[in-house]
Amino acid sequence: MAELITDIASLRSRLSGVRKTGATIGFVPTMGALHAGHGALMDAAQLGCDFVVVSVFVNPIQFNNKEDFEKYARNLQTDLDFSSTHHVGVVFAPSQEEMYPAEQDTFVEVLKVSKGLCGEFRPGHFRGVATAVAKLFNIVQPDLAYFGEKDAQQLAVIRRMVQSLNIPVGIVPVPTVREPDGLALSSRNQRLTQEQRVHARLLFQALDAARISVMTGSRRISEIRGAGLKVLAGEPRISVEYFEIVDAENMQAVTDMSGRICIAAAIWLGSVRLIDNLSLPPRS
């Protein structure tokens, strides 16, 4: 059974004892509502480290929509049980007061990478993510930290933050876990109605159509985007927030296909926002 710790002092004391044994510490930061995608992160951490810590904290400062924050699924006992099945050593589940004991007036902001895509439509989101993750890195002090490739822009932000601030933690990306029809696993999926769930698969199909466009020789950005947008246009109940071709490292829009690219998209189905992406190697 994973050990539950809810305060910073106790966690630091516990991990101090772990380090004295020479064990390496792997860290998986989450907001709970754990699913097989999180399980893949935990399994990767188990393979790469001796002791695994999972955090469960719904971070209020990364939500620009109060209703979205309040609706976020929370079930700590279920998350604890799930973590235990993946042989996690400690689940760190601090309260909001433990993480933010006073008004938060110090923030971490990664400027270039966080612009565009989700950063354009969710102002302040990545500032909140980077600040919370920086705090968690300082609390846990892991050797390696594991992040899913589904959140490509978040992964890029964390990588740049660690590099820029000389934080001594290795960032390990883990491939996206998908349903049989391609839909990326996400805590938000459980908020989809049955009808919306059927339409949600079109997000991956659109990304794949853009990927096929590239693989079959397309080099014009407008043509590649058009291939994906055509798929989404077939379902009027889907609202497209963005569908872009960006550099996979800095998340900025590209004008040619010479480097490693990321096809990234965000859509709305009713009140549920879904994101996904596919990365492609450099093309000549």
Of 38, 86, 125, 199, catalytic: 38
Please name the residues in contact with 71: beta carbons below 8 A apart, sequence gap of 6 or more: 191
> Among this protein's residues, is 87 annotated catalytic?
no
239-267 confidence digits (pLDDT tens): 999 999 999 999 999 988 888 999 999 99
Domain span at 212: 187-277
pLDDT at 66: 83
- Asked if residue 180 is part of any domain, the answer here is no
Closest by Cα among 181, 184, 157 to 278: 184
Same domain, 139 and 52: yes
- Asked if residue 284 is part of any domain, the answer here is no
Q: Cβ distance 39 to 106 under 8 Å?
A: no
pLDDT at 87: 97
Regions of the chain with pLDDT less than 70: 284
- Asked if residue 89 is part of any domain, the answer here is yes
Q: Cβ distance 202 to 231 under 8 Å?
A: yes
- Asked if residue 182 is part of any domain, the answer here is no
Which of 144, 174, 204 represents a domain boundary (last residue)?
174
Same domain, 166 and 217: no
Q: Cβ distance 67 to 58 under 8 Å?
A: no
Instruction: Give the up-direction half-sphere exposure of residue 20: CA atoms within 13 A in the CB hemisphere.
Output: 6
- Asked if residue 69 is part of any domain, the answer here is yes
pLDDT at 284: 60
